[in-house]
Every structure is written in C-alpha cells, then in structure tokens.
Amino acid sequence: MIPILTIAGSDCSGGAGIQADLKTFSAHGLFGMSVIVSVVAENTATVTSVETISEKVIIDQINCVFDDIYPKAVKIGMLPSIESMKAVAKKLKEYDAKNIVVDPVMYAKNGFPLMDVENIDTLIKEVIPIADLITPNIPEAEAISKMKIETVDDMKKACEKIIAMGPKAVLVKGGHHIGDAIDVLFDGKEYHTFKTKRIETKNTHGTGCTLSSAIASNLALGFDMYNSVKSAKDYVTTAIEHSLSLGSGCGPTHHFYDLYKKAGIIKE
C-alpha cells in the first residue's frame, strides 16, 4: 500500500479539505494520512468559523507522519497563517518530501476568505518554491502573479510569472471563467492545455481539493506530471458529472463513482 499525505484544513461537511483529500486518495487505492492545520465550520452553503491549529501541533503531526510512514507524495491545501506556512515549508524541506502538490486555497466556494491577503507574500516566499506543482484557479493565479487573467494567453503569462517563483510546474485552472473548462500546465519549457466539457451543475464543492489530491495520487503511483494531471482531470470530471445533490448550497462531487459502479453499488 502506497502512503500519501495531505496537509490542509478540515471540512466538517465532508466535501472539501482533508475529507475530500482522503476520499480521493482512497479512490486511487492509496493509504491516506493527514496533517490538519485548521478546523473549518462549514457546509455546502456557508462558512461559519475557522480555528487555526497551533504551529507546535502542526509540526508534531508532520514529525509523527514522516518519522514513521514516509509518504510518496504530499498535497498541501489551506494554510491559513504565516506561521503555518513557514512551519510546513521548513519541515517538508527537512524531510526532503517528494511530489509536493500545492493548492493555494484562498477562498471557500461561497467566497469566504480562508487566507489573509497579506499572507500571499509568505506563500510566494516560503511555500511555492518547494512545490513540484502549484494548482491555482483564476482568482488565486491573479493574486499570486499580480495580473488580470481574461484569456488563455493570459493564463500562460501567469504561468510564466509563477514558475519564476520556484515551483517545478504550474497548472492554472480556468474552470468556467474562460470558455469551457480549460486548464494550462507549464513546466518551464512546454505548455499543455486541458479542455473538458462544460457540466451544468452547482454541485462543485471541493473540486479544487479533489483535483490537486488526484494529481498527487497519480504522482505517488509513479506517473509523470503530464499524465498525472490528465488522469486527475478525467477523475474530477467524472466526479462532477455524477455529483451529489446534498445540502442547500453547492453539493459535493462523487469521489467514489467509478468504484461504486464497478462494485455494482451504482446501476445505470
């Protein structure tokens, strides 16, 4: 069993954050582990409060994982404070962590801020340089690159600005902001564009967490970056296509659709 780690916030409603990451890892046949950096009181419609875990407990969690079960890949999600960013970056460098995928979570699906704007400089200085891949959506890429993104060419320019900050590769996620669901991957040499069909649904809670976790899962399984992203895109598209109408807001995606279908739990 291949071990993999997520470092992120906890979503009590189960659609995003740590919960989505662990479901994604399981769907890929991996042994998921977690370091919780914040506890978020949220559901499909709203975020009520956020409690940040202390720097000491974050460090203790990372030590416990790496000293006992060394992960093949690490997904980093929500890092709500400067202290948590510095602690996570320092420890992952100390342990020479492999296949680090950073999802720079700044806002919840309903727009609730999960990172203070003034923390972006620390994200750029401490966290982005340790990433094998960073996966910002359009608003996040705009905040990091400090430029407006309105076209695919703009996405490529943002990729260039962000990769100059130190990561090995950048995936700017267009979502439905620009035409169909178009994402741009840049490794410093080549661009790859991924385009998927538009799926008309409001149930997209946790899609960013799920995509980055799926990419990390594929890297842990030994795939290269291009195929890790391509496979993850297919996985997320299926999860959205068969999303769950739960709650009064943006419902969650179906992390186990293919698995349930193969097991005969889902019949079409």
Residue 204 bears catalytic tag: yes
Contact 20, 75 (CB under 8 A): no
In a domain, 143, yes or no: yes
The domain of 252 spans 2-263
Residue 209 bears catalytic tag: yes
pLDDT at 202: 83
Residue 207 bears catalytic tag: yes
Q: Which of 77, 208, 210, 250 is catalytic?
A: 208
pLDDT at 215: 98
Q: Which of 24, 122, 135, 207 is catalytic?
A: 207
In a domain, 152, yes or no: yes
In a domain, 268, yes or no: no
Report residues of the chain scoring pLDDT below 70. 107-117, 176-179, 268
Residue 206 bears catalytic tag: yes
CA 14 to CA 235: how far, in whole Å?
A: 18
pLDDT at 161: 97
- DSSP label at residue 107: B
Beta strands in the chain (DSSP E): 3-11, 31-42, 47-52, 74-76, 100-102, 133-134, 170-173, 181-186, 191-196
Q: Which CATH number fits the domain that encloses residue 169?
A: 3.40.1190.20
Residue 152 identity: V
Residue 6 bears catalytic tag: no
Q: Which of 9, 32, 206, 251 is catalytic?
A: 206
* DSSP-based three-state secondary structure for 5: strand
pLDDT at 114: 59
Number of structural domains found in the chain: 1
